[in-house]
């Protein structure tokens, strides 16, 4: 925990917020394009495609996904095989939000 806290302090809150936004945007865009859910490795691969020259490691993806789940912006889906690793994973998808009622 101490090493994780030190790394977080060095990265800075602005960078963490940016990563949270980037990961959430990737999952939402995939969902809008017909991909029901993404694994951590699939998020990582899409991150690399979306932001050429930038990288994100699997531990960082996991940390950001867990934060987004805690914030109720993402939710876990039933287990399936990852398209990249062929391992059983618990992918995530955006939490459905009810449209505001007009009237």
Instruction: Please check whether residue 25 is in contact with residue 17, taking contact to mean a CB–CB distance below 8 angstroms.
Output: no
Question: Closest Cα to residue 26, out of 49, 3, 53?
Answer: 49
- Tell me the two tokens of residue 22: 């980037």
Q: Give the predicted TM-score (pTM) of the model.
A: 0.83
Answer with the residue of higher pLDDT: 14 or 86: 86
Tokens of 95: 């939490």
Hey, which residues does 89 pair with through a beta bridge?
80
For residue 74, pLDDT over 70 is answered with yes
Write down the pLDDT at residue 7: 56
pLDDT (tens digit per residue) in 7-65: 555 567 778 899 999 999 999 999 999 999 999 999 999 999 999 999 999 999 999 99
Reduced to 3 states (helix: H, G, I; strand: E, B; else coil), residue 57 is: coil
**How far is the C-alpha of 10 from the C-alpha of 35, rounded, in Å?**
34
């Amino acid at each position: 925990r101490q090493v994780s806290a030190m790394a977080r302090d060095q990265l800075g809150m602005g960078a963490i917020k940016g990563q949270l936004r980037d990961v959430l945007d990737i999952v939402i865009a995939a969902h809008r394009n017909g991909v029901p859910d993404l694994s951590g490795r699939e998020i990582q691969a899409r991150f690399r495609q979306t932001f050429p020259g930038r990288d994100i490691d699997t531990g960082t993806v996991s940390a950001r996904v867990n934060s987004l789940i805690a914030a109720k912006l993402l939710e876990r889906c039933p287990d399936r095989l990852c398209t990249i690793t062929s391992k059983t994973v618990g992918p995530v998808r955006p939490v459905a939000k009810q449209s505001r009622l007009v009237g």
